[in-house]
Amino acid sequence: MEKLIKGRKYNTDTAKLIGVVGEKQELYIKRTGEFFLYFVDKKIVPLSFDKAQKLVEEKLDKDVYNQLFNKTGTEFISIEIDSKVVQYARKEAVKRNIRLNALCEEAICEYLNLKNV
């Protein structure tokens, strides 16, 4: 089933089924990392990250929770950034003798006020 909610597309055929979390309720995750509930009566409800995390913790197997929320190591992501910004970022990375991904990770952590990640 596919539904457009507040300009965002939710599709049970293309999203990954995480598990059954209630009677006639299924939890899905989109390719973008967004979560949503699908009800067998053809209703879709988008979920915040925190609500999805709590639901998985309460209703599903610990291994599923760890796979989704206790990730360690690194992950590959693909993003589009304006070419001028990329040029400045590359110059800064070279100047500081670090890799571009390290500079991007540092900038994201700084923006989110994350320390010692």
Q: Are residues 31 and 56 in the same domain?
A: yes
Boundaries of domain holding 15:
2-69
CB contact burial 8-43 (16+ within 10 A = b; e otherwise): eebbbeebeebeeeeeebbbbbbeeebbbbbeeeee
Predicted confidence at residue 70, as pLDDT, reads 83
Q: Is the pLDDT of residue 117 over 80?
A: no
Predicted confidence at residue 107, as pLDDT, reads 94
Read off the pLDDT of residues 61-94 as tens digits, 9 standing for 90 and up: 988 988 888 877 788 888 899 999 999 999 999 9
Domains held by the chain: number? 2
pTM here is 0.71
Q: Are residues 81 and 116 in the same domain?
A: yes
- Mean of per-residue pLDDT scores for the chain: 92
Q: Are residues 80 and 63 in the same domain?
A: no
